[in-house]
Amino acid sequence: MIVNDQSTVLSVRDLEVSFATSLGLVNAVRRVSFDVKRKQIFGLIGESGSGKTTTALAITRLLPAYAVVKGAVTFYEQGTPIEVLKLSEKQLRDYRWRHVSLVFQGAMNSLNPVLTVREHFKDTARAHGINDGKKIEALARELLTSVRLNPDRVLNAYQHQLSGGMKQRVMIALALMLRPELLILDEPTTALDALTQRQILDLVKELRDKYEMSVILITHDLSVIADTADEVLVLYSGTPMEMGDINEIFYEPLSPYTQMLIDSFPMIGRVVKERPQMLKTASSVGCPFATNCPLATQACFGADMYLKPIKGSHMSSCIHADQLVGKIRAYQEGGRSGGDQA
C-alpha cells in the first residue's frame, strides 16, 4: 500500500533487483520494503553482499543496464508522489541531486586531482543549470560552512591537500547543493579515524536537526548505526531480516541474525561471543541465515522472507520471531558483560 502520509519522503515497496549474468539471473535484493520519513536518519545495515549499496543505486536509478528492477520506489515531493522507477531520462536528471543525492562509498577518493574544490563546485553547479559565477561562489561558501569547513581554506585547495575527513565533507557539501530532501550516504566513515568519524556523524545529525533533511545511512558498522540512526533496516544476503526503531532493534532484536550481529561486535570492556563461520548460501529461497541459526527449523529453508509486523511497527522476516519477543538485552555499560535477560 502506498503511504500518503505528509511526513513520508520515500517509500519503497517490494523492491527486487537481479542481475543478468552468464550464469543466469542472480538475485541481489529480495523484496525489500521500507519508508523514510522527513527529519529521519534511516540506517541500512548489512555486510558486503547484503544488497545495501544495490538498494541505494536502485533508488537513484544508477544501476547498470543489465540490472532487472521490480517493485515500486515512490518519492514524495511535498506530498505529490513521483514513481522513480518509471521516470524518463530527462525526468531523472531533475530527480537526481535535486530531490535525492548520493555520496558513494569511497567518494572522497573520486575528487578530481587536477581541480580545486571551487572548480568542483562550479562543475556540479553548471551541470544542474546554475551558471552565475557569483552565485556559485556564494552557494559554495554557504555549503562548506554548513559542513563545518572553512571556505577560505578549502575552496582553493586540491584534493591531496585535504585530509580524509575534509574530503568526505566536501563530497557531502556537493551533494547538498540543490537542497535535496533526501541524502544517501554509503559508508561515510570507513577509513576515517575516530575523531574525524565523530565529526561526520555529528554532521549527519545536524543535517537532520537543523536542515530537516532525511538521510539514508548505509554501513556495515553496527556502532555507527547505534550512535546515529533513528530507524534501522537489517539486510543479509539481499534479504530484509528486521526493521524497526533503533531501540527496538538493539534492545529487543526480533531476528537471530541481528542478535548475532550485536553479540559479535567488539566493544571495549565486553567479552565478545564467538561468531559462527558464515557460509554464503546460493539459494534464493528461504532464510539465508538458516544454516547458522540456533532457532532454525526445516521450514526456515523454504520460508518466504519478507518483513511482517511483530510488535507494533517493529517488523521481522524471521518465522520464529515470536520466540524472541520479550527477550530484552541489558543496557551495556562499559565494563559489564553483556547478555540477554529473559
Partner 1 sequence: MTEERLRESPTVSSEHLTVTFEAKKGLFSRVYFNAVDDVSIAIERGSTLALVGESGSGKTTLGKTLIGLRKPTSGRVYFHGKDVWSMRKEEFMEFRMKSQIIHQDPYSSLNPYKSVYDVLALPLRAHRLAGSKEEEREAIYKMLEEVGLIPAEFYADKYPFELSGGQRQRVSIARAMLLQPELVVADEPITMLDASLRLGILDTMMALQRKMDLSMLFITHDLGMAYYITGRTGKIAVMYLGSIVEFGPSEKVLKNPMHPYTKALLSAIPEPDPKLSRSKQLMKLTRMDPPDPSRAPAGCKFSDRCPFAFDRCRKERPKLSNAGDEEVACFLYPDVQGTPVSGES
Residue in 62, 47, 83 with CA at minimum distance from that of residue 17: 62
For the chain, the residue count is: 342
CA distances (Å), 218 to each of 50, 145, 189, 207, 328, in order? 11, 24, 10, 16, 26
Interaction mask 312-331, partner 1, x per CB under 8 A? -------------------x
Binding to partner 1, residues 1-30 (CB under 8 A): none
CA distances (Å), 11 to each of 1, 71, 83, 306, 319, in order? 10, 11, 10, 16, 24
173 φ/ψ angles, rounded to the nearest 5 degrees = -60, -45
Secondary element (H or E) of residue 218: strand 214-219
Residue in 184, 145, 11 with CA at minimum distance from that of residue 84: 11
Tell me which stretch binds partner 1 (CB under 8 A): 56-64, 170-178, 265-273, 288-296.
Answer: 265-273
Tell me which stretch binds partner 1 (CB under 8 A): 95-103, 275-283, 294-302, 311-319.
Answer: 275-283
Among positions 195, 279, 282, 342, the unique one binding partner 1 when judged by CB under 8 A: 195
Nearest approach, Cβ of 237 to partner 1 (angstroms)? Answer: 11
Tell me which stretch binds partner 1 (CB under 8 A): 85-93, 95-103, 246-254, 285-293.
Answer: 246-254
Tell me whether residue 269 or residue 302 sits nearer to partner 1 (CB atom). 269
Among positions 47, 142, 212, 322, the unique one binding partner 1 when judged by CB under 8 A: 47
Among positions 17, 182, 262, 303, the unique one binding partner 1 when judged by CB under 8 A: 262
What does DSSP assign to residue 26? Answer: E
Among positions 221, 284, 291, 301, the unique one binding partner 1 when judged by CB under 8 A: 221
Nearest approach, Cβ of 224 to partner 1 (angstroms)? Answer: 6
Tell me whether residue 131 or residue 156 sits nearer to partner 1 (CB atom). 156
Q: Where are the alpha helices (DSSP H) in the chain?
A: 52-59, 89-95, 117-127, 133-146, 151-154, 164-175, 194-211, 222-228, 246-251, 256-263
Among positions 42, 76, 250, 289, the unique one binding partner 1 when judged by CB under 8 A: 250
Paired sense of beta strands 182-186 and 214-219, if any: parallel
Among positions 110, 247, 313, 337, the unique one binding partner 1 when judged by CB under 8 A: 247
Q: Is 191 in the site for partner 1 (CB under 8 A)?
A: yes
Among positions 24, 134, 298, 333, the unique one binding partner 1 when judged by CB under 8 A: 333
Tell me which stretch binds partner 1 (CB under 8 A): 10-18, 125-133, 266-274, 309-317.
Answer: 266-274
Q: Is 337 in the site for partner 1 (CB under 8 A)?
A: no
Q: Is 55 in the site for partner 1 (CB under 8 A)?
A: no
CA distances (Å), 231 to each of 234, 246, 262, in order? 10, 5, 16
Alpha carbon 1 to its chain centroid, in Å, reads 23
The letter for the amino acid at 89 is E
**Cell 539481499, located at residue:** 238
Nearest approach, Cβ of 28 to partner 1 (angstroms)? Answer: 16
Buried b / exposed e along 145-155 (16+ C-beta atoms within 10 A): ebbebebeebb
Among positions 29, 166, 254, 287, the unique one binding partner 1 when judged by CB under 8 A: 166
Q: Site residues (CB under 8 A) for partner 1?
A: 47-48, 163-166, 191, 193-199, 201-202, 220-224, 226-228, 246-247, 250-251, 262, 264-269, 272, 275, 277-278, 331-335
